Structure 1
Amino acid sequence: MSVFGYPSSRLAILGREAVVIAIATAGGALFATLGMPAAWLSGSMLLSTAVALVRPLPALRRPWFDSTMLLSGTILGSAATPEALAALGRYPASLLMLLVGVAAIMLATGAYLHRVARWPWIDALLAAAPGALSTVLAIAQEKGANIGRISVIQLFRLLVLVAFLPSLMQATGASAGAPIPVVTAVDPAAMLGLTMAGLLTGLCFERIGLAAPLMFGATFASAALHGMGLVEGSLPMPVQIAVQILLGSTMGGRIAHIPREELRGLFPLAIGGFAVSMGVAFLFAWPAAWLTGVPYASGMAAFAPGGLEAMAMLAFAMGLDTLYVGSHHLVRFVVIGLSMPLVLMRMKGKAPEAGPPGPGR
């Protein structure tokens, strides 16, 4: 039986996926209305999790995930503007300390999760990665790692950072009130060119065996085109919002598949992991800020293990040195994006855990 030329089974799958996306959209819209930071990502994830804990939601099919990774990489690569790349030469000592700090954060937090929680190293390292959430999610999917508990640790750190870091910055003397600059949106032709360049690069990376090839390829292509000044601006804001909603829906659905007893046990681990990562980050932030002569608040924002978008937003809102903060988070994202697929290439994750059957399985 078909309806408007589509098999009824296909329409049923599309209908269930529309419900999943609508729930995530409602959560993001609610958080955006309340003025919450990282609203579309955190709101969509939290409402999807809450609903799925009551009634399991079907997983979105692989094309949704692949499209989200492609667009997410394109968006993140747009941060590599000529201005941001030029800023890299101003802070060589600070950036060197950042690289050491990223490795220290991952090793310290990963060791904590591996030894205390007895997690496999691949899950522990992905949960410990400071920022680059989209890359982490893509690699976890590729390696069959436990996306649910990795997302719990990552999202807890992000939500605590965006909730409490501004107060901590104010206590250290940051000025406030700088407006958030308007980001220019690329035109449809440039958007098509960016996504096609990312897709082709991602397919090449897939052939050489890199993890998360679409995400990594799109980021690389977008960063190259933006860095050379061939493209200016990022994807339109409605597209960016849609990407965050789909990411939030993916994470929320995976979190809800974790048994509730295990989920309750993850929160103490999330608190401990947050304390370890923040302690190591701020240990490196103080000497880096002193060496470069920037306020310690800017150093805190630059070294804080949060997402690129969330930390950039906080820097703008708090009136900090946005080039300093942005260049450090850009370098960290590139380093994580380049190194993690290579480091984890030979590591084997667990087989994906069985969950409720759905159209995405």
Structure 2
Amino acid sequence: MDNNWFILSDTTQIDSPALLLYKDRVAYNINLMLQIAGDAERLIPHVKTYKMTELVRMQIMRGITKFKCATIAEAEMTAKAGASTVVIAHQLVGPKIERWAQLVQAYPQVEFVSLVDCADAASAYQVVFLRFGLTANVLVDVNNAMDRSGHPVDDQLFPFYQSLFRYPYLRVLGLHVYDGNFRDADFAARKAKSDQAFAGIKVLLEQIRTAGLPEPLVIAGGSPAQTVHTLREGVHISPGTCLVWDWGYGEGLPDQPFQWAGLVFTRVISKPKAGFITVDLGHKAIAAENPIDKRVKFLNLENYRCVSQSEEHLVLEVSDWDNWKVGDALYGVPYHICPTINLYEDAFVIQNGEWVDTWNVIARKRKIAI
């Protein structure tokens, strides 16, 4: 294995901090995601991690045509890229409902879907789509033990699901079941927790079938649980981070050998005192929601400690201070890649150590056109 795979042959034209995207590693990760799923039709990958048109198209070229997203802008980007189905994995409120209807109107060839977990939201969807003369495709969002969103798994869940068929401008497609809280490093432990939480979904599915309702689409899990849910017959999986991976998932999910494909590039900008260097990788350049020692792992630096971070600076205590000079480059793996990518307008695409292209992180915007 090439331990220096990340090193660029020429850094003179790349300003720092920067986001580097290693295209061949992304392609490897897409292949592995397909192997885990067993079939491109089972995949509805999430685009929120990378937010780039070109990465959606790389997957479409491999037969993946259905995607999940988190924002209207991500939905618009994915539709423009050529997706057949786009699931907006939120219960939409306020102006977002009308923007969703505008997307449906603007891209009639695309099946747009959103989530619903209560009667208030269903009624709001009905009002807007009635006005547009369109149909809102929905999945019932189920709170499958994560307690973040969704209808609880209780004796009111099936009656709620059944009630949605009375809305003439809603089309009920099935269930959205996200269990991103199960992240045990041990696969057996992760599977046991996911299986326990999914037991209520099995009961719900039986109720739906017994009632003679249409066979539901079931979308379950993200990157951590994809290896669990792929074992469930008829369940679609929606990983996303696995396309670029990060230090956090790489450390916590040893059963999933995806490759780091997105790095941050930074430079030494000061040596303020003996034993300390400062790089230009502040809060504005890497996700900073975790403790300071869980934000970045440098690949070409050993025996160091992150001391402090501010908006533009990251101070490191290093053991080989004399070996570093102002202007030297460091390459880091973010602990959490999703919000890190969101901090950059563009990604520098790297192949064979060369900068070959620049891809716009277009869906970091809250609005593209709609």
State the TM-score, normalizing by the size of structure 1: 0.24
User: Would you tell me which structure has more strand in proportion to its own residues?
Assistant: 2
Greater C-alpha radius of gyration = 2
Greater relative CO, 1 or 2 (CA 8 Å, sep 6+): 1
State the TM-score, normalizing by the size of structure 2: 0.24
User: Would you tell me which structure has more helix in proportion to its own residues?
Assistant: 1
